[in-house]
């Protein structure tokens, strides 16, 4: 076994190890923090939609109340009573949904931060596996024909070999490339928006002060929004949390 064959063997072992780590990191993200973020975000979005529906219903009921009162010359009728009841009911439901949404604010922020942490581990594992795959392919090629190529280059064929390799293109569909992509799998963060991946500095300087309700949290939050393309859901949650602290 020559040196390249030994390196190829080590590269194969390392590649398999990184694939295992990648599989674990992907599963941890998709079934853990990533899934929790998706569910939390979907729940908050559903509550926002319900609030809009109830506010629209309250406006419609208010309009119906006005029509009923005008048509009866301000006399209380069953129609006006029904409209008033419908308006109050819609307003009460909107308030109830808003209270539920307010309760999800902290959970939404914490879910985003947890997903960011898990995503960093997942992304790191994917990058390591990708690098290991490249090494595995390269050393496999050297183990198979590196010695022959090295001798040809030593005999004066370096320029020819380098030129030919530089201009080489695969014929037709590259099944090997497809197989390599499938081995690593598609890298996706699902519900985690790229702009919500803040990094350690932004989290320590901005998000955590907002979570603690510090006085400078709002200005820091504005700075964060100006420097990052935050998702609407995450930005709204941060603003709502600060507003809650500011009013308390």
Average pLDDT over residues 139-160: 92
Start-end of H helices in 153-216: 158-167, 175-184, 199-202, 208-212
The phi, psi pair for 8, rounded to 5°, reads -65, -40
Q: Is residue 14 over pLDDT 80?
A: yes
User: Alpha-carbon distance 191 to 35, whole Å?
Assistant: 8
pTM for this predicted structure: 0.78
Average pLDDT over residues 11-38: 96
Percentage of the chain modeled with pLDDT above 90: 60
Start-end of H helices in 29-157: 34-71, 78-152
Interval 79-123: pLDDT, tens: 999 999 999 999 999 999 999 998 888 889 889 989 999 999 999
3-192 has which CATH code?
Answer: 1.10.287
Residue of 233 and 57 predicted with greater confidence = 57
What mean pLDDT is reported for the chain?
88
Contact 158, 165 (CB under 8 A): no
Interval 162-218: pLDDT, tens: 998 888 887 766 777 788 888 899 999 999 998 888 877 777 766 777 677 665 556
Q: Is residue 20 over pLDDT 90?
A: yes
Q: Is residue 221 over pLDDT 70?
A: no
Q: Is residue 128 over pLDDT 80?
A: yes
Domain limits, the chain? 3-192, 193-248
């Amino acid at each position: 076994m020559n040196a390249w064959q030994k390196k190829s063997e080590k590269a194969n072992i390392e590649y398999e190890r990184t694939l295992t780590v990648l599989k674990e990191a992907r599963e941890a993200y998709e079934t853990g923090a990533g899934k929790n973020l998706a569910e939390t975000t979907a729940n908050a979005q559903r509550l926002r939609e319900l609030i809009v529906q109830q506010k629209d219903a309250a406006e419609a009921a208010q309009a119906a109340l006005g029509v009923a009162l005008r048509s009866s010359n301000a006399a209380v009728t069953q129609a006006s009573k029904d409209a008033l009841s419908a308006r109050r009911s819609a307003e009460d439901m909107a308030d109830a949904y808003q209270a539920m949404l307010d309760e999800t604010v902290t959970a939404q922020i914490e879910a985003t931060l947890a997903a960011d942490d898990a995503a960093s581990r997942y992304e790191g594992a994917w990058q390591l596996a990708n690098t290991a795959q490249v090494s595995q392919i390269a050393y496999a090629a050297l183990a198979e024909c590196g010695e022959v190529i090295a001798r040809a280059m030593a005999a004066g064929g370096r320029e020819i070999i380098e030129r030919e390799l530089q201009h080489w293109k695969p014929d037709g569909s590259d099944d090997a490339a497809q197989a390599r992509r499938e081995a690593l799998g598609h890298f996706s963060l699902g519900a985690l928006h790229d702009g919500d991946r803040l990094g350690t500095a932004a989290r320590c300087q901005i998000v955590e002060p907002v979570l603690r309700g510090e006085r400078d949290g709002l200005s820091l939050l504005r700075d964060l929004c100006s420097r990052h393309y935050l998702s609407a859901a995450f930005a709204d949650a941060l603003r709502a949390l600060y507003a809650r602290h500011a009013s308390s």
